[in-house]
Amino acid sequence: MNKGALMHMLFRHTWLGFRRAHYFDRSMGLKMLMLIVGFFVAGYLYIFGLFLPVILLNVFPDSSPHESFFSLLWLIYAGDLSLRMFMQKPPKQLIQAYLSLPLSRRTLARFVMLRSWFSLYNFYLFLILAPFYLRTLVPISSSAFWYAMLGSFLLAGINHSLVIWIKTRPVRQVRVVIYLLPLLALAVVFGVLYPEKLMDASWQLGISFMSGNAFSFIIPAAIIGTMQFITSRGLQHAFYEWQGSEKSDMAAGSSRLDRFIASFPVYGIYWELEWRLMTRNKRASAILKQIPLTIIGIPVLFYFIKEENITAYTYLFVLIAGGHGFNYLQYAYSWESRFFDWISTRQTDIHKFIIAKYYFHTGLGFLQLIPMLVLLAFTNPPIIWPMTGMFFYVTGPIFAFLLYGGIKNSTRIDPNKRASFNMEGTSGNLFLTILVSMLSVVVVMIISFFLPFPSPVNVFIVSAAIGVLFMVFHRRWTQAIASRIIKQKYSLLSKYREK
């Protein structure tokens, strides 16, 4: 079989694997809902790109929109790299079936690298960049538009190549990545001490892209080629220690932190269980790793957003104010599904079990809130009011709704499978639960509209009052949740035994 036919066969197998994935067995209604949500997200990104010139004119009135945008290229692609490090996965699950066949490792390595370029992370930014460049660069020159698009793709390619190299390197090359840490720390220090020079260098790179300077394209292309060559060599030596197995490397024993958490009276053993669930599988730990990014990223975002009507971002506050719990509690009981038989056969106090969950995730959200508010005090102080109010609202009625609705949403999931774009466990009930949670803030906005104070303070008063009310009476609604779980215990066991 020649190389062309071999590549065609490998891509055909990739398509069949994608088409036969479990999430295609979902109902047509859920598929349509997910498709509509995808179109809405893409549409919002496109609209943001259309209005980005106006936003940049308000933030940088002394510069043209494309020049001010080019000065922020370093920040945009640094954020893109951070996102990729946590979310982008190489297509390593495609390799296991071929390792025992008479295929050269070089061919498999090239196939993995080629397949990895068909990643959403290489194209999502163009939903913003394309409309922005059309509005700002096409009036200058059509060639400037295409040069800028090519330069942006090369910058994304550098991030892509770096992430794929790091995540496919042989185990013995781990120290090579450690050597990159001082360079990363030096870059961060330089950016903090000399932000003007960094913005100026970024601006010059963008202008060189726009003007079609050959060296501005040759150098990034050379970096990509070098990284791809190194990745290919590393893959050929790492296939048999890197087979795409979905397993956890965590030890089974208790760490000092585990024992410390378990030492708390009454709820300690439940909190230790929750902590282990969060840290010892891929899916839950990926959510946990987003906390530092949120603490730093949200204040930075609102540093650049200087608008009077900050209540327009209330829906964003719902997603972040409650911290880790909003995402984690969407699958409130699915994390325990693999040993729910054991929980059900023990003399477990289900009410105490639910309260412990609520206390744990509320406390974790509070630990995220405090440093975020400190940073917001320097970047955008008015945001502190609605952010604090939404913390009480999310950890009150929203957490209660997620814990109650999660009983029907739950099913047995594999927590060690990939964290990003993993549709396992999704359902129409889950989609409606999240939709209702987001739309519930409309009530808060309507009530706050009639209060006589500034809008941020109004949102704080209403959301905090509702949240505190739910917190005060949390034992009543947690008892209702526990009673529902006990009544449906046997039907839940049937669901958890499906796999």
**Tokens 């292309």 map to which residue?**
221
Cβ atoms of 387 and 369 within 8 Å: the answer is yes
Please state the domain extents for the chain.
Answer: 26-238, 270-496
Mean pLDDT score, 3-17: 73
CB atoms under 10 Å from CB of 316, counted, come to 15
Share of the chain above pLDDT 90, in %: 21
Q: How high is the pLDDT of residue 261?
A: 84
Q: What is the pLDDT of residues 451-496, one digit of tens each?
A: 888 888 888 899 999 999 999 999 999 999 999 888 877 777 776 6
Cα–Cα distance for residue pair 215/67, rounded to 1 Å: 20
Cα–Cα distance for residue pair 499/491, rounded to 1 Å: 15
Cα–Cα distance for residue pair 67/62, rounded to 1 Å: 10
Residue among 403, 229, 218, 210 nearest 322 (CA): 403
| Burial zone of 179 (CB within 10 Å; 0-12 exposed, 13-18 middle, 19+ buried) | exposed
Q: What is the pLDDT of residues 81-97, one digit of tens each?
A: 888 877 787 776 556 66
Residue among 353, 360, 349, 362 nearest 394 (CA): 362
Angle at 319 between CA 316 and CA 323, to 5 degrees: 130
| Burial zone of 330 (CB within 10 Å; 0-12 exposed, 13-18 middle, 19+ buried) | buried
- Diameter of the chain measured on Cα atoms: 77
| DSSP of 72-140 | THHHHHHHHHHHHHHH----GGGTGGGTTSS--HHHHHHHHHHHHTS-GGGTTTHHHHHHHHHHHTTTT
Cα–Cα distance for residue pair 32/17, rounded to 1 Å: 21
* 420/401: higher pLDDT: 401
Q: What is the pLDDT of residues 179-201, one digit of tens each?
A: 565 566 666 666 666 677 888 88
Residue among 215, 193, 190, 194 nearest 204 (CA): 215
pLDDT band at 376 (very low <50, low <70, confident <90, very high): confident
Mean pLDDT score, 425-453: 82
Left if phi > 0, otherwise alpha if psi is -120 to 50, otherwise beta: which for 323?
Answer: left
Q: Give Rg (Cα) of the chain.
A: 25
Secondary element (H or E) of residue 177: helix 174-193
Mean pLDDT across the chain, nearest whole number? Answer: 80
Q: How high is the pLDDT of residue 174?
A: 47
Q: How many helices, marked H, and strands, marked E, lie in the chain?
A: 25, 0
Cβ atoms of 368 and 295 within 8 Å: the answer is yes
Q: Residues with Cβ < 8 Å from 489, sequence gap 6 or more?
A: 344
Cβ atoms of 81 and 162 within 8 Å: the answer is yes
| DSSP of 429-442 | HHHHHHHHHHHTHH
Q: How high is the pLDDT of residue 251?
A: 42
Q: What is the pLDDT of residues 93-120, one digit of tens each?
A: 556 667 667 777 778 788 888 888 888 8
| DSSP of 32-54 | HHHHHHHHHHHHHHHHHHHHHHH
Q: What is the pLDDT of residues 207-253, one digit of tens each?
A: 999 999 999 999 999 999 999 988 888 777 766 555 444 444 444 45
